[in-house]
Amino acid sequence: MSNRGSSLFTNSIQMSNKIEINEQSIVIGCNYHTTWQKHSAMRFVLKEINGDQARLITRRTGKDFWTKTSDLIFIMTGHNISKAVNLIRAIK
């Protein structure tokens, strides 16, 4: 499952200060789909990274689980991109 091509955005967005956001971006606190999910409407929030494992939490029920970081697909919406840029700027 992927939302590639279904967004108003192309493969990546480069912000003026050289922050590039794309579907492979990993930013704790942002929204993701996974490669294995059955329902395209489901979104998960990235809570933690430990090696090649990512801890996600469901937005609706709050349940959390682990999956491979390679399963993550950053959701390319304006709100999620803006959130990622703000979070990245906050840690620099």
Report the pLDDT value the prediction gives residue 15, as an integer from 0 to 100.
53
- The verdict on residue 64 lying in a domain is yes
For 8-70, where are the alpha helices, taking DSSP H only? none
Asked if 73 and 56 touch (Cβ cutoff 8 Å), the reply is no
**CATH number reported for the structural domain that contains residue 59 in this entry:** 2.30.30
- The verdict on residue 5 lying in a domain is no
- The verdict on residue 2 lying in a domain is no
CA separation for the pair 59, 53 (Å, rounded): 19
Domain that holds residue 25: 12-91
Closest CA relative to residue 25, chosen from 67, 80, 90, 62: 80
What is the reported pTM? 0.80
* Number of neighbouring beta carbons within 10 Å of residue 78: 11
- The verdict on residue 6 lying in a domain is no
Q: Rounded mean pLDDT of 9-25?
A: 69
CA separation for the pair 57, 61 (Å, rounded): 8
- The verdict on residue 7 lying in a domain is no
CA separation for the pair 27, 45 (Å, rounded): 10
Q: How many domains does the chain contain in total?
A: 1
Report the pLDDT value the prediction gives residue 12, as an integer from 0 to 100.
54
- The verdict on residue 1 lying in a domain is no
**pLDDT tens digit sequence for 59-82:** 889 999 999 999 999 999 999 999
- The verdict on residue 58 lying in a domain is yes
